[in-house]
Amino acid sequence: MDTTTIIAIASIATAGLTMGLGSIGPALGEGKAVSSALSSLAQQPDAASTITRTLFVGLAMIESIAIYCFVIAMILIFANPFWNHIIK
């Protein structure tokens, strides 16, 4: 195998691992956040607007981690900085 093929394989494998492992944490975090919010809503229905607003802000912050992983995976696949060292 030549160097270009090795970099392509490594980039695609790393992008896949980044998305796979980078999605597990946010998914578990979002599930726990929604579970806690529903539990809080069941205990204090009067505070529904405050709990819901805080939940959505928290979910947006948690989801940003998965978005960052997606951006890194896209950079590795389409705009890989290692190609510049091979192609002269």
- The enclosing domain of 9 has a CATH number of 1.20.20.10
Residue 88 in domain: no
Domain span at residue 13 reads 3-82
Residue 32 in domain: yes
Residue 30 in domain: yes
Evaluate if residue 5 carries a pLDDT over 70. Answer: yes
Residue 20 in domain: yes
Residue 11 in domain: yes
Identify which of 80, 59, 66 has the alpha carbon closest to the alpha carbon of residue 8.
80
Q: Are 33 and 59 in contact (CB under 8 A)?
A: yes
Say which residue the tokens 């705009």 belong to: 79
Residue 14 in domain: yes
pLDDT-based confidence at 88, cuts 50/70/90? low
pTM over 0.85: no
Output 34 or 82, whichever has higher pLDDT: 34
**Who's near 52: CB < 8 A, 6+ residues apart?**
37, 41
Q: Count how many domains the chain has.
A: 1
Q: pLDDT tens digits, residue range 7-53? A: 889 999 999 999 999 999 999 999 999 999 999 999 999 999 999 99
Residue 42 in domain: yes
Residue 87 in domain: no
